[in-house]
Amino acid sequence: MTSPASPRDTIAALATPLGEGGLAVLRISGPRALAVGDAVFAPAGTRSRRPSEADSHTVQYGHVVRDGRRIDEVLVTVFRAPRTYTREDTVEISCHGGLVVARLVLEAVLASGARLAEPGEFTQRAFLNGRLDLTQAEAVADLISARTELAAAAAQSQLEGVLSGRIRAVRDDLMNVMAHVEAHLDFPDDDIEPDTQGRLLSRLATGADLLAAMSRTAREGQVLRRGVRAAIVGRPNAGKSSLLNLLLGHARAIVSPVAGTTRDTVEETASIRGIPVVFIDTAGLRETDEAVEREGVRRSRAAAAEAELVLHVLDGSVPLDPSDATLIGELRERPVIRVVNKSDLPRPLVLPPGIDAVSVSCATGEGLEGLRDAIEQLVWGGRVTAEALPVTVNARQADALRRAEEGTRRAAEALRSGESLEFAALELRIAVGAVGELVGQTATEDLLDAIFRQFCLGK
């Protein structure tokens, strides 16, 4: 993205996805937003106003008109700066949600002095105008792409500023200590009092611990943002496709009594207690001369190797096959849940000693909760609720937090040894800089571009 060309520009884009729907919403933001609104909108009735004459936060009824021709019947919402998403004057046009209508309205707006917004440019302006900090801007993207309620709740709390608040508190404290240390640099003959030194050291230790605790949430953050990939593997006919369908709650994959039904991998996401899990159904593992099935088996092994989690499905209604014993051995080092299926039938299957499993019946749904428990346990190491996840950082944030933590610890070390206050001050400056990057106070233009480029158009 060419960085925010000039906040003097007035930008416009559809805020709703392209496609047929009841409504499409087009957003215009910038110094000429009201003028652009005036140019395209003809109020109808006695009480509707042109945008430039309308009060802030009001809705006007009328038509979008171009070259004297009515394009659509619309509602126009007028938001005057600064109480808007971007802190600029903003006009939103709600028109009919047809592909052609929405495009014609957008074209009329672009012909009247607005330019098409870059992806993420509205949010970028909200950031540049100080309405959101960088972690909050990132939370907007997370909220839009959240695939489970838990992921949405985590994004919401970040958007509300929970992470920003903690980061700022640590930053303020580090700056305070830094001011203290730097003051002493000016009076080299004056040693820091042992008492004062002790207090500064304990504040640095607390700060470093808080930074470390935040960066440790990166795993949860990644799970919520990207989801977890779980491969469903096992012998033909064990019930892998049946298990996929049971977990998804609908008949996604073909199930049949013929061994070797599934050939290609089939994947779909389900929410398991708020964790977005991408389940991958695979071809049954067996030796075969048939070329297509052999390719399927190769893909099954690749899926199992790449997945973060493996569900090894065994048919409980038949004795243990030697190939299953081999697979148990092969998966020993992997995060694996063994699922003994067909618990509605008699169970001649005996697992090797020390091997445990979750028992389910895809035919009756019995045991599904236990399987969900096992998945949750393996991913989180226990149950995680929205309340327990006030902060879940992403990879960029974790990286900056780690650099800040290291700087803080090195500064404490330098202060403790009493050797070089200059060194302590330098490390503190590094730490404060890294913390500033988190919220965007010291972020480079490249970094900002990289972040806002990930947004969808119109946000």
Ligand X SMILES: Nc1nc2c(ncn2[C@@H]2O[C@H](COP(=O)(O)OP(=O)(O)OP(=O)(O)O)[C@@H](O)[C@H]2O)c(=O)[nH]1
* Chain positions contacting ligand X, by CB under 6 A: 236-242, 255-257, 259-262, 283-284, 341-342, 344-345, 361-363
Whichever of 235 and 240 has its CB closer to Mg ion, that residue is: 240
Closest CA to 328 of 320, 287, 294: 320
Whichever of 17 and 365 has its CB closer to ligand X, that residue is: 365
* Cα-based distances in Å from 6 to 20, 122, 173, 370, 445: 33, 12, 35, 56, 14
Residue 188 contacts residue 176 (beta carbons within 8 Å): no
237 contacts which partner out of Mg ion, ligand X, none, CB within 5 to 8 A by kind? ligand X
Binding status of residue 261 toward Mg ion by CB under 5 A: yes
By rule CB under 5 A, what count of residues binds Mg ion?
4
Residue 387 contacts residue 190 (beta carbons within 8 Å): no
Question: How deeply is 133 buried, as exposed, middle or buried, from its count of CB atoms within 10 A (0-12, 13-18, 19+)?
Answer: buried
Residues 104-163 interacting with Mg ion (rule: CB under 5 A): none
The minimum distance between CB 343 and ligand X, in angstroms, equals: 7
What is the DSSP code (8-state) at residue 307? Answer: -
3-state helix, strand, coil in the chain (%, to 5): 45, 20, 35
Measured distance CA(189)–CA(172) in Å, rounded: 27
Whichever of 234 and 440 has its CB closer to Mg ion, that residue is: 234
The minimum distance between CB 306 and Mg ion, in angstroms, equals: 19
Chain position whose Cβ is nearest to ligand X: 284
3-class DSSP assignment, residue 410? helix
Whichever of 171 and 240 has its CB closer to Mg ion, that residue is: 240
Closest CA to 123 of 17, 225, 34, 11: 11
Whichever of 259 and 305 has its CB closer to Mg ion, that residue is: 259
The minimum distance between CB 230 and ligand X, in angstroms, equals: 15
The minimum distance between CB 246 and Mg ion, in angstroms, equals: 13
Binding status of residue 262 toward Mg ion by CB under 5 A: yes
Task: Report strand pairing: 90-97 vs 21-29.
Answer: antiparallel
Considering Cα of 299, then 301, then 302, then 304, what sign does the dihedral take? positive
296 contacts which partner out of Mg ion, ligand X, none, CB within 5 to 8 A by kind? none
Residues 201-260 interacting with Mg ion (rule: CB under 5 A): 240-241
77 contacts which partner out of Mg ion, ligand X, none, CB within 5 to 8 A by kind? none
What is the DSSP code (8-state) at residue 404? Answer: H
The residues, ordered by sequence, that sit 6+ positions from 233 with a Cβ below 8 Å of its Cβ are 240, 282, 285, 300, 303, 304, 310, 311, 312, 313, 327
Binding status of residue 86 toward Mg ion by CB under 5 A: no
Whichever of 55 and 258 has its CB closer to ligand X, that residue is: 258
119 contacts which partner out of Mg ion, ligand X, none, CB within 5 to 8 A by kind? none
260 contacts which partner out of ligand X, Mg ion, none, CB within 5 to 8 A by kind? ligand X
Whichever of 50 and 342 has its CB closer to ligand X, that residue is: 342
123 contacts which partner out of Mg ion, ligand X, none, CB within 5 to 8 A by kind? none
Question: Which residue ranges make up the site for Mg ion (CB under 5 A)?
Answer: 240-241, 261-262
